[in-house]
Structure 1
């Protein structure tokens, strides 16, 4: 493996670690919500947990699976936000898991050249690495929204880092 390939592998390992971390957080939130709470919106300018899952599925599909994986772009973005139900928690979880699995397969199968190539996605031109960074930062952003909304609905600490001393100093 060349130095460039090693560098890309390190980047991808870090990005996939963060996706896995956020996936666990999202699944914990979904597990805590009832079927009815899944589609509750804080207000009309905000999205329900169900909408956020549909939106993440759409975004990951468009960026990672379609653009990076060079498949047809079938995303219907407006539906991700206008949907007011129609999916059970299990159906949403299954859809979400399927999208994540397919995206992971695409990410793990790209070549060095594909990571450095440019892709047009959602009107932007990004490198393969740029797409992966976008997917992870977008994923983390909406994970925070899901966590905040779950805390609001349930009035509990989600305990994402239970058992980890987050006060440990860097040199310890």
Structure 2
């Protein structure tokens, strides 16, 4: 079952990261990627950077040992990063996630995730499922942002 979970997670991360690329590509106005309005306080660009930082930290850096160093504050303060750069970062993240998950063993899924992220300790398998749902949550926000603010 654990090998199946790893393969399922690889498929879901790849699917949703590719959808993230499509969302960013579909903005008719590149400037709209960075729009905030009224109570919408996070732009699609910032959410994209946040997802890239999140996955590179918790999957790439911790499980894949890539040496990635996160600057979470910049994920929400940068603006006007060119679309081409965002897309390249997403492509890099797809590769990092795939390579890191290839290294994860069935036994590791049952073990405690090496970093305390929540109020209590979790297994690596639990945390990877959380990361997948976190990606899906923000992907939905980006889709809504695009349809609402890129008209």
TM-score, normalising length from structure 1? 0.76
Report deviation, 1:106: 0.5
Give the total of aligned pairs.
Answer: 148
Partner Cα distance (1:110, 1:118) in 2: 13
Q: Which structure's relative contact order is higher, taking Cα pairs within 8 Å and 6+ residues apart?
A: 2
Q: More helix per residue: 1 or 2?
A: 2
* Matched residue SS, 1:106: helix
Report deviation, 1:120: 3.4
Report deviation, 1:74: 1.4
The 3 A distance-change label for structure 1 pair 61 and 122 is farther
Q: More strand per residue: 1 or 2?
A: 1
Are the equivalent residues in 2 in contact too, given 1:114–1:128 (CA < 8 A)? yes
Where in structure 1 are there 5+ consecutive unaligned residues? 1-6, 156-172
The 3 A distance-change label for structure 1 pair 122 and 79 is farther
Where in structure 2 are there 5+ consecutive unaligned residues? none
TM-score, normalising length from structure 2? 0.86
Partner Cα distance (1:126, 1:47) in 2: 28
CA RMSD of aligned residues (A): 2.0
